[in-house]
Structure 1
Amino acid sequence: MPRRVLVTGATGTVGRQVTAQLLEAGAEVRALTRSPVGGVRGDLSRPDSLRTAVEGVEAVFLVWPFASAEGLEAVLAVAAESARRVVYLSSAAVRDHERRAERLIERSGLEWTILRPHAFAANTLRWAEQIRASGLVREPYGLAAMSLVHERDIAAVAVRALTRPGHAGAVYELTGPHSLTQAEQARIIGEAVGRPVRWEETSPQDARRQMLARGWPPEAVDGILRAQSEMTTGPAPVTTTVQQVTADPARTFGSWAAEHAGAFRAEEAG
């Protein structure tokens, strides 16, 4: 078992869980940070800055936070000076830059595992403010279906691949155990917080204007709305990969909502 693991994106939704679960497994964790405190310093946009971080490391959990794979090849070359294994957090969408990143990783000479999670359960936190204020979620595409995956389960698969044999060359598509429409997700959040949460359908045009007003790039807004529209055609795919890798069934969205109910409760808005 690798005893020293470098975790990039260690403060992110999945990275925090990877760090915690590695520590529970007895691994030594190096959390990459651009800050002078709270981890080992390094910047993925400056590969030469990573040499101290990767020294003596046996495995790397890789989150690539850029919309281009440019620079990744150099980062992988530095990682390979010490590490022998990399686990890359891609996505089920496999966007162009993610596909390019996957190909670079496959050619890196490292043992690799690729994770392709579907939509994060944590994405529903974007509704927290309006649920606290009104008990409503106002968005388009209430019938868009997703198999939301708990960040703990993504991390659990990552930790197995980082620390145990048998995962080299694997591409894991990760989902939760159920396909749920967005309207159903809102209802389940209501059950968790103890008061009804209703879905109020709005137009895609209104949603687009609101996202642009928040400063979102137009191409990202259009991509999100297009993807949600496509999700209204039927149930989302569900895999059993989490259970196959970890021996534990994937957590339900209801369990995630119960853990995070405080974020949606009106009395905790302040």
Structure 2
Amino acid sequence: MRILVSGATGIVGRHVVEQLVRAGVSVRALTRRPAAAKLPPEVEVVQGDLTEPATVAAALEGIERVYLFSVDESARAVVALAERAGVRRAVVLSAASVTAGLHTNPVEQAVEESGMEWTHVRPCGFMTNMLQIWAPSIRAERVVRYPFADEPMNLIHEADIAAVAVAALLEDGHHGRAYTLTGPGLVTVREQVAAIAQALGEEVRYEEVTRERARELMKAQGGFAAESADLMLGFVEYGGDTPEGGGYAEQDWSALMRIWPDVEQVTGRPPRTYAEWARDHLADFS
């Protein structure tokens, strides 16, 4: 069996590749920049971009199962190519906001309408979302400046997302299922900073700042922090709605604050804690 992993160098995709390799599976990794992939030597790395379906056709040859990173605008074209290539099973990385009814996912819809077996993996917020935002100030000053000190967040370790996806790729019995993935409990910003400090064995100060000040800091930081500042701090919402203008602000977000049992049901073990995530990323903060 040969499996194609799209988004193979991404936050979740890299874990999917590594876990499949450990399971002894033949993996073909799709990435836009093969030379920079840094994947295990057993992996066949090929160039392709899901936003340009024509570049993916060759990568699908001889593939039986595929892990699909969501790229909305080309969803149907990519799924059609997979079907024509003889792919029998697709696992889609989606989002818990689909479970909550906040939006639909075109890739989910495309695979459901195809002739393939399908499974949707719908994680809540990634524990690693704050890594690029907090790591520079932790490394330089041992401080985190961010708002929302004691607001609970529902977060999941990226390795747990991958573990569920890998189970759906390799095992039978997951066809037609949509798994909503959360960590073992809600965690606040203050608790996250404390867990990072404990992993480092050093004090990491937490300074609560306003949303406006946090946006200034993130915009000045550049890169992912600058690009995601307005969304992560609530100045805009998914789809570009503003909180004052309706849209997602009027929706019921309660499904995203539940602790779902799906990780343990699929993998047979509880999801990793934030403290475990902090230890796994110790080098990023050192």
Interval of TM-score (by shorter of Structure 1 and Structure 2) = 0.7 to 0.9
Indicate the larger mover: 151-160 or 196-205: 196-205
Q: Given the alignment, which residue of 256, 276, 279 partners 1:255? A: 276
Q: Does 1:222 align with 2:225?
A: no
Which residue, 159, 163, 173 being the options, matches 1:156? Answer: 163
Alignment-derived partner of residue 78 in structure 1: 81
Give the partner amino acid of 1:28. S
Q: Which residue of the other structure, out of 141, 149, 152, is the alignment partner of 1:145? A: 152
Moved more, 213-222 or 101-110: 213-222
Supply the distance in 1 between the matched residues of 2:229 and 2:283 (Cα, whole angstroms): 28
Normalised by the size of structure 1, how large is the TM-score? 0.86
Identity of aligned residues (%): 45
Aligned-residue offset at 1:46: 2.1
| Structure 2 residue aligned with 1:41 | 47
Alpha carbons of structure 1 residues 253 and 84: separation in structure 2 relative to 1, 3 Å = same
Q: CA offset at residue 128 of structure 1? A: 1.1
Structure 1: 5+ residue stretches without partners: 266-270
Partner residue in 1 for 2:8 = 10
Look up the match of 1:174: 181
Distance 1:218 1:31 in 2: 29
The 3-state SS of whatever aligns with 2:125 is: coil
Q: Which of 63, 67, 72 is residue 61 of structure 1 equivalent to?
A: 67
CA contact (8 A) 2:97 2:103 kept: no
Q: State the distance in 2 between where 1:261 and 1:16 align.
A: 18
Q: Which runs of 4+ in 1 moved over 4 A?
A: 95-98, 215-220
Matches of 1:254 and 1:216 in 2, distance apart? Answer: 23
Q: Provide, for residues 77-115 of structure 1, a one-character-per-residue CA deviation record: whole Å limited to 9, x for no partner.
A: 001122111111111233977523322222122211111
Of 21-30 and 103-112, more deviation after overlay is shown by 103-112
The secondary structure found in structure 1 opposite 2:178 is strand
1:71 counterpart SS class: helix
C-alpha distance after superposition, 1:204-243 (max 9, x if no partner): 112223334436799954332227x99xx9x942122111
Seen in structure 2, the aligned counterparts of structure 1 residues 35 and 224 have a Cα distance that, compared at 3 Å, is closer
Structure 1 contact 193–262 (Cα < 8 Å) conserved: no
2:194 aligns to what? 187
Check the 8 A contact 2:219/2:227 in 1, yes or no. no
Maintained 8 Å contact 1:61/1:88:
yes
* Equivalence for 1:268: none
Aligned match of 2:106:
100
1:180, distance to aligned residue in structure 2 (A): 0.5
Match of 2:240 in 1: none
Question: Which deviates the most, 151-160 or 102-111?
Answer: 102-111
For residues 238 and 90 of structure 1, do their structure 2 counterparts lie closer, same or farther at Cα, with a shift above 3 Å needed? same
TM-score (norm 2): 0.81
Per the alignment, residue 240 of structure 1 pairs with 261
Structure 2 CA distance for partners of 1:170 and 1:14, relative to 1, 3 Å: same
Instruction: Tell me the equivalent position of 1:23.
Output: 21
Matched residues, number: 256
Q: Residue by residue, what CA displacement relative to the aligned partner does 1:169-189 show, whole Å, maximum 9, x if unpaired?
A: 111111111211011100111
Q: Residue in 1 aligned with 2:141?
A: 134
Structure 1 residue 123, shift from structure 2 partner? 1.9
Deviations 1:54-78 (A, max 9, x none): 11111110112x4xx2221011000
Distance 1:252 1:200, change over 3 A: same
Alignment CA distance shift 1:185-1:132 (3 Å): same
CA spacing shift, 1:241–1:84, aligned 2, 3 Å: same
Looking at structure 1, the residues matched to 93 and 266 of structure 2 have their Cα atoms a distance apart, in angstroms, of 16
Letter of the aligned partner of 2:265 in structure 1?
Q
Runs of 5+ unmatched residues, structure 2: 38-44, 238-242, 244-248
Which piece of structure 1 moves more, 248-257 or 39-48?
Answer: 39-48
Q: Is the 8 A contact 1:91 1:98 kept in 2?
A: no
* d(CA) in 2 for partners of 1:255, 1:93: 25
